[in-house]
């Protein structure tokens, strides 16, 4: 009987071990397949004989990771920065992100309705209505009684956005709307509050539209164009790793590259590069929709943005790696739009800025197999290529 119980437990352990192995293998195959498709759509010519490829294989082997040489070869082909420290997406999402971030807690922290609880140190879009777990609240988290019509919505006309608050990456299910006379309209159609609750599964937020800085709207006026920053906690210090500037496209009001948007490099002084990359990683010198040049574009008070990134990251002690989206309003003040703890996209950062972790990568990889980092290894998921 005891022997049978031990055998059963052992079989369960082996099945779980096999499941984890197959799950990780599937992630590797999926990310490599999607990266291959991405690279085929570009004019990049990788140099697999460059000395950095051999160096990269040796570097990653030190950490018991077998490197797919396509990643460093193709990434260097875009920016001519040859390095052994380019990170493949599969390694990033199945190993590095779970080792740096407590993914078991991430879902609560990325709920947009909780931003104003965690991030009281930064300006955010004005909230008009919250729906949390199927219940309605005002901006100050006071419970509302919709049966008696006490929604407290503004009577004057206000342009706003309805956003899902959970699983809301890449601008998914964001809807432009308008409030007038205490009612909500989208595409000139009156919205039923209960139908909205059902459509967004009881989790959404309605926020006022931000009046964007002319610096950014002059390039593309139809979306809120965001600065995407990435920050890393190293020991007790938080550092800014990389900055990008994302523009929308094709008259879409979200800045997702998959919807025609483009991405530019931003240096540590707020100076924007004179070229951008589109969703096919093709280099362009002007916005493809508005034909406006990226030349002479400088983000104001950029040191303030870097300070805000660090200050906000300090509020997230369970997460050592965070991707941030900030808008720039008509007062040239930075406004927090979103932060990402689960899928902080890496491809564009590496294409544009090279290997952004630099000397910090050694310490991160060296800790991957320590016991304290293993608890979240199953939290990573493979949905699509995150760029």
219 Cβ neighbours under 8 A, 6+ residues apart: 225, 247, 287, 290, 292, 294, 297
Which pLDDT value is given to residue 257?
59
Residue matched to tokens 């039923």 = 192
- Using left for φ > 0, alpha for ψ between -120 and 50, and beta otherwise, residue 175 falls in beta
Q: What are phi and psi of 264, to 5 degrees?
A: -115, 160
Q: What are phi and psi of 378, to 5 degrees?
A: -85, 0
| Residue among 347, 324, 325, 341 nearest 380 (CA) | 341
Which pLDDT value is given to residue 170?
59
Answer yes or no: do 302 and 216 share one domain.
yes
Answer yes or no: do 59 and 191 share one domain.
no
User: Is 164 within the bounds of a domain?
Assistant: yes
Cα separation values, 292 from 236, 275, 278, Å: 42, 11, 15
Residue 321 has a CB neighbour count (10 Å cut-off) of: 23
- Domain end residue (candidates: 183, 208, 233): 208
Please report, in angstroms and rounded to a whole number, the separation of the first and last CA atoms in the chain. Answer: 53
Answer yes or no: do 176 and 221 share one domain.
no
User: Is 8 within the bounds of a domain?
Assistant: no
Q: H helices within the chain, ranges in order?
A: 2-40, 51-61, 70-79, 89-91, 97-100, 103-109, 115-118, 193-199, 214-217, 302-313, 347-353, 360-366, 371-374
Answer yes or no: do 243 and 339 share one domain.
yes
Written as one string, the DSSP assignment of 239-277 is: EEEEEEEEE--TT-SS--GGGT-EEEEE-TTSBEEEEEE
User: Is 21 within the bounds of a domain?
Assistant: no
User: Is 373 within the bounds of a domain?
Assistant: yes
Which pLDDT value is given to residue 10?
74
228 three-class SS = strand
Between vectors from CA 128 to CA 188 and to CA 324, what angle results, nearest 5°? Answer: 105
Which pLDDT value is given to residue 370?
61
Answer yes or no: do 348 and 225 share one domain.
yes
Q: Identify whether the C-beta of residue 208 lies closer than 8 Å to the C-beta of residue 158.
A: yes
What is the rounded CA–CA span in Å between residue 70 and residue 188?
49
What is the rounded CA–CA span in Å between residue 253 and residue 177?
12
Answer yes or no: do 187 and 316 share one domain.
no
Domain that holds residue 90: 26-111+118-123+211-387
Answer yes or no: do 375 and 272 share one domain.
yes
338 Cβ neighbours under 8 A, 6+ residues apart: 112, 168, 324, 325
| Residue among 308, 306, 303, 296 nearest 271 (CA) | 296
Consecutive 10-residue runs of the chain (387 residues): their mean pLDDT? 69 74 73 73 85 96 93 93 95 94 93 96 96 95 80 84 82 86 90 93 96 97 96 95 94 67 95 93 93 96 98 97 98 97 93 94 86 46 45
Answer yes or no: do 150 and 97 share one domain.
no
User: Is 357 within the bounds of a domain?
Assistant: yes
The DSSP bridge pattern shows strands 204-208 and 158-164 to be antiparallel
User: Is 175 within the bounds of a domain?
Assistant: yes
Three-state secondary structure of 339-382: EECCCCCCHHHHHHHCCCCCCHHHHHHHCCCCHHHHCCHHHCCC
Answer yes or no: do 46 and 66 share one domain.
yes
Which pLDDT value is given to residue 365?
94
Residue 193 has a CB neighbour count (10 Å cut-off) of: 17
Give me the half-sphere count of Cα atoms (radius 13 Å) on the Cβ side of residue 37. Answer: 8
Answer yes or no: do 290 and 376 share one domain.
yes
What is the rounded CA–CA span in Å between residue 250 and residue 290?
9
User: Is 10 within the bounds of a domain?
Assistant: no
Answer yes or no: do 258 and 377 share one domain.
yes
- Total domain count for the chain? 2
85 three-class SS = coil
Which pLDDT value is given to residue 372?
45
User: Is 181 within the bounds of a domain?
Assistant: yes
Q: Identify whether the C-beta of residue 221 lies closer than 8 Å to the C-beta of residue 213.
A: no
Answer yes or no: do 238 and 357 share one domain.
yes
**CATH number of the domain residue 307 falls in:** 3.30.470.20
- Domain end residue (candidates: 208, 236, 256): 208
pTM of the model: 0.88
Which pLDDT value is given to residue 382?
43
- Domain end residue (candidates: 208, 224, 252): 208
């Amino acid at each position: 009987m005891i022997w049978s119980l031990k055998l059963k437990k052992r079989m369960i352990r082996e099945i779980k071990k096999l499941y984890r192995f197959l799950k990780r293998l599937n992630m590797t195959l999926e990310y490599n397949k999607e990266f291959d498709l991405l690279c085929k759509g570009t004019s990049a010519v990788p140099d697999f004989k460059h000395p950095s490829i051999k160096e990269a294989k040796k570097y990653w082997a030190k950490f018991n990771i077998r490197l797919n040489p396509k990643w460093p070869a193709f990434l260097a082909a875009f920016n001519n920065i040859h390095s052994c420290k380019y990170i493949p997406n599969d390694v990033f999402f199945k190993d590095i992100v779970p080792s740096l971030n407590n993914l078991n807690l991430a879902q609560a922290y990325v709920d947009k309705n909780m931003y104003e609880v965690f991030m009281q140190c930064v300006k955010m879009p004005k909230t008009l209505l919250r729906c949390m777990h199927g219940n309605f609240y005002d901006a100050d988290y006071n419970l509302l009684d919709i049966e008696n019509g006490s929604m407290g919505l503004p009577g004057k006309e206000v342009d706003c956005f309805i956003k899902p608050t959970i699983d809301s990456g890449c601008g998914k299910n964001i809807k432009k709307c308008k409030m007038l006379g205490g009612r909500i309209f989208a595409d000139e159609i009156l919205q039923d509050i209960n139908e909205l609750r059902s459509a967004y599964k009881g989790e959404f937020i309605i926020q006022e539209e931000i009046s964007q800085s002319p610096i950014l709207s002059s390039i593309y006026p139809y979306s809120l164009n965001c600065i995407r920053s990435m920050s890393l906690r190293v020991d007790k210090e938080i550092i800014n790793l990389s900055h990008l500037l994302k523009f929308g496209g094709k008259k879409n009001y979200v800045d997702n590259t998959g919807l025609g948007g483009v991405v530019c490099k931003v240096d540590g002084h707020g100076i924007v590069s004179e070229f951008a990359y589109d969703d096919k990683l093709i280099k362009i010198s002007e916005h493809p929709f508005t034909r406006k040049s990226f030349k002479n574009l400088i983000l104001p008070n950029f040191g303030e943005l870097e300070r805000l990134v660090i200050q906000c990251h300090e509020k997230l002690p369970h997460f050592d790696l965070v991707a941030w989206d900030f808008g720039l309003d008509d007062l040239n003040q930075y406004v927090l739009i979103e932060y990402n703890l689960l899928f902080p996209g890496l491809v564009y950062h590496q294409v544009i800025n090279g290997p952004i972790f630099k000397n910090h990568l050694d310490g991160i990889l060296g800790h991957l197999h320590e016991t304290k980092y293993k608890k979240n290894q199953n939290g990573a998921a493979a949905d699509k290529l995150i760029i």
